[in-house]
Amino acid sequence: MIEANGITKLYKIPHEKNVTLFETILGYVKNQFTYEDLYALKNVSFRVNKGEIVGLVGKNGSGKTTLLKILGGIIPQTKGEFHIEGTVAPLLGLSVGFHHELTAQENLYLYGAILGVPRKEIKENLDRIFEFAGVGKFKDMKIKNFSSGMIARLAFAAMVQTNPDVLLLDEIFAVGDKDFKPQCFSVFRDYKQRGKTIIFASHDLDAVAEHCERTLLLDKGELRAFGNTKDVIQQYLTL
Amino acid sequence: MQNLKNKLNLIYELSRLDFKLKYYGSVLGMLWSFLKPFMMLAILYVVFFYFFKVGIKNYEVYLLLGIIFWNFFADTTKDSAQGVTAKAQLLQKTNLPPLIVVASVIVHSLWTFLITLAIFFIFFFAIGLHLTWSILTLILLIPLLVILTAGVSLFIVPLHMRFKDFGHIWDIFLQMLFWVTPIIYQYTLIPEKYIRWYLLNPVARIIVDARNAVLYNFFPEPKQLLITSILVAIIFTIGLIIFKKHGRRLVEQL
């Protein structure tokens, strides 16, 4: 269950980029501190029930990733509050926790740790993860030698094993071959049956239409619609 | 409870990652971390013992202990900042707490520090010196050093995140602090009227007390130790507050 109330994210974009201490002090002295307000999200409120797979669509820059980052606890919101029941796994990019110089197995320990899984549990699940991803042969090979598809499968497999209550997915199908998508969706269906909640941001409207009953539509940071997927997608296409 | 265990596991995993990355592909590898203080010792010893004729007895161990303590402080503060900026991607795309990253750097550093200290004591016995009960003071002094270092790291990491050139500023500050700390010389060299301010430097206090404990069979005065503890506690609290207030927010600016 996810409940969001008035989520607002305001970025103050400085007109002059003050990155160094020197520039900042100089900026103060010359009184050059002008900013432009950018509302990445403006007063977004909605409620997702347990066991729902909800789509999140919108143009690039509409605030999808920002919303997921806020819900996932990665960045704080400027105003508003939200409440999520259960553990949350934000998956904002598939190979984010992976480090190139480590082997696949070492990366799984690290990835698992980042996702909050106890070490013992990761150890027990190792074989299952490799089998699910189909890369068992390469478990002692460095990630830098993996193909992007292999990494995608491995990351997805690892994420699945962590068994979160709520999954926040941000366009994870950009990388991944023809077999990857069906694999993901079978996991989604399984998750839904087990009462888990998923918010699934994507540009792949067919996938969204097929798997999500309801969909959120963001435009320029505002929630334009939240309801029946087919209708919302229609609205998105006419934006 | 499980949450704490998970956090500790994460700190462990991140330390291991840093460990592997630091030494991967280098020939001397891990050895370099332990070689560094001895190389510093060699240079400083030659210059100050032979050229400047600083007449301190057992100058090698006098210097070495100060160097080892100082290096932990200086290197950890630098590495904390570097560790956070290096993990920008990770911090921006997962809910990895920046505090955990800093903690893992400190753990990694502490590990190296303790091993170097062990080597110090091997050296200590090798040249024929003896320990006394005052060595037990280290049980108080080392945690104080760690908390102090943690506090300073927590304070400067947000500054590094916000200002891209802060690394240079910190380097210069460390250089100055090195000379204002009695590593190479005895603090008794400082003129009377400045000594109260001079001894407000917690790093100086810890190093002086540590040296007294190891070399001169001297327990620190409880009052002085209390003052050190209060200074360290204040610095740590300020550092933690600043870090908690700005750490997550500044991740976006990495």
Q: What share of chain A is helix, strand, coil (3-state, %, to 5)?
A: 40, 30, 35
Neighbouring-strand partners of residue A12: A37
Kindly indicate the confidence band of residue B253, based on its pLDDT and cuts at 50, 70 and 90: confident
Q: What's the pTM?
A: 0.84
- Cα separation of A93 and A102, whole Å? 19
The nearest CA of chain A is from the CA of B28 a distance in Å of 19
Distance of alpha carbon B158 from alpha carbon B176, whole angstroms: 21
Contact flag B21-A113 (C-beta cutoff 8 Å): no
- Residue A41 covered by a domain: no
Domain span at residue B123 reads 2-251
Find the domain containing A215 and state its range.
49-237
Q: How far apart are CA B190 and CA B211, in angstroms?
A: 18
A210 has a pLDDT exceeding 90: no
Nearest C-alpha of chain A: how many angstroms from B6? 6
* Closest B-chain CA to A98: B90
Q: Domain for residue A21, yes or no?
A: no
Cβ-based contacts of B9 with chain A (< 8 Å)? 113, 118-119
Residues of B in contact with A21 (CB under 8 A): 163, 165-166, 169
CA dist B247 and B98 (Å) reads 7
What's the pLDDT score for residue A17?
67
- The beta-carbon contacts of A233-237 under 8 Å, at least 24 apart in sequence, are A233/A57, A233/A205, A233/A208, A233/A209, A236/A57, A236/A58, A236/A205
Q: Per-residue pLDDT tens for B111-141?
A: 999 999 999 999 999 988 888 888 999 999 9
Token digits for B222? 């409880």
Under 8 Å between Cβ of A207 and A225: no
Average pLDDT over residues A104-131: 84
- Decide if B83 contacts B99 (C-beta within 8 A): no
Q: Which has the closest alpha carbon to B100: A113, A83, A214?
A: A113
CATH of the domain at A120: 3.40.50.300
| Statement: residue B18 has pLDDT above 70 | yes
Report the amino acid identity of residue B201: N
Q: What band does B14 get if pLDDT is binned at 50, 70 and 90?
A: confident
Q: Which residue of B has its CA nearest to A97?
A: B90
Residues of A whose CB is below 8 A from B165: 19-22
Work out the number of other CB atoms within 10 angstroms of the CB of residue A189: 12
Residue A3 falls inside a structural domain: no
DSSP state of B188: G
| Tally of structural domains, chain B | 1
Please determine, for residue B27, whether its predicted confidence score (pLDDT) is greater than 70: no
Asked if the Cβ–Cβ distance from B17 to A93 is below 8 Å, we say no
The separation between CA A158 and the C-alpha centre of its own chain, rounded to angstroms, equals 15
Distance from CA of B82 to the nearest CA of A (A): 16
More confident residue, B108 or A183: B108
Joined together, the tokens standing for residue A115 give 């996702």
Contacts of A65 (CB under 8 A, 6+ apart): A92, A170, A201
Q: With bands split at pLDDT 50, 70 and 90, how would you rate the model's confidence at A128?
A: confident
Q: In this structure, what DSSP letter does residue A49 have?
A: -
A99 in contact with B, Cβ within 8 Å: yes
Whether A214 is in a domain gets the answer yes
Q: Is the pLDDT of residue A65 over 80?
A: yes
Nearest chain B residue to A76, by CA: B249
Region B21-46 average pLDDT = 80
The answer to whether the beta carbons of residues B64 and B210 sit under 8 Å apart is no
**Reduced to 3 states, what is the DSSP secondary structure of residue B221?**
coil
What are the tokens at B24? Answer: 């991967």
* pLDDT tens by residue, A10-28: 888 777 666 777 777 777 7
Helix (H) or strand (E) holding A19: none
Instruction: Please check whether residue A118 touches B, CB under 8 A.
Output: yes
From the list B9, B169, B252, the residue facing A119 with the nearest CB is B9
**Does residue B78 register a pLDDT over 80?**
yes
Q: How many domains are there within chain A?
A: 1
Q: Is the pLDDT of residue A221 over 70?
A: yes
Q: What integer best gives the mean pLDDT of chain B?
A: 90
Using an 8 Å CB-CB cutoff, list residues of chain B that contact chain A. Answer: 2-3, 5-6, 9-10, 12-14, 17, 20-21, 24, 89-90, 92-96, 163-166, 169, 248-249, 251-252
* Average pLDDT of span B140-162: 95
Whether residue A1 lies inside any domain: the answer is no
Asked whether the predicted pLDDT for residue A46 surpasses 80, the reply is: yes
Please state the rounded mean pLDDT for residues B209-238.
94
SS3 assignment, position A95: coil
Q: State the pLDDT at residue B212.
A: 92
Both tokens of B146, joined, read: 């760690």
Shortest Cα–Cα distance, B16 to chain A (Å): 9
Contacts A72 to B, Cβ<8 Å: 94-95
Beta-bridge partner residues of A103: A142
Place of tokens 């009377």: B192
For position B52, what pLDDT does the model report?
86
Joined tokens for residue B45: 């010893």
Q: Which of B10, B20, B89 sits opposite A113 (nearest CB)?
A: B10
Look at residue A175 in the predicted model and tell me its pLDDT. Answer: 66
Which candidate from A22, A72, A102 shows the least CB-CB separation from B20?
A102
| Predicted interface score ipTM higher than 0.90 | no
Start-to-end C-alpha separation, chain A:
29
Task: Report the distance separating Cα B63 and Cα B75, nearest Å.
Answer: 17
Question: Which residues lie across from A225 on neighbouring strands?
Answer: A217
Backbone phi and psi for residue B58, each to the nearest 5 degrees, phi listed first = 50, 45
Predicted pLDDT at A199: 92
How far apart CA A224 and CA A150 sit, in angstroms, is 37
